Amino acid sequence: MKETLVNFLNFSGIAWWIKIFTVDPRCTYYFGPFLTSEEAKTSEAGYLEDLEGEGAQGIKVSIQQCQPVELTIYNDELENSGDQVMVNPIFN
Per-residue pLDDT of 7-55, as tens digits, reads 777 777 889 999 999 999 999 999 999 999 999 999 999 999 999 999 9
Residue 51 DSSP SS3: helix
pLDDT at 92: 41
**13 and 90 in contact (C-beta within 8 Å)?**
yes
Its pTM surpasses 0.95 = no
pLDDT at 77: 58
pLDDT at 79: 54
| 4 band by pLDDT with thresholds 50, 70 and 90 | confident
Spatial distance between the Cα atoms of 85 and 36, rounded to a whole number of angstroms: 24
pLDDT at 87: 52
Long-range contacts of 3-11 (CB under 8 A, 24+ apart): 5/35, 6/33, 6/34, 6/35, 7/33, 9/33, 9/35, 10/67, 11/67
Rg (CA), the chain: 14
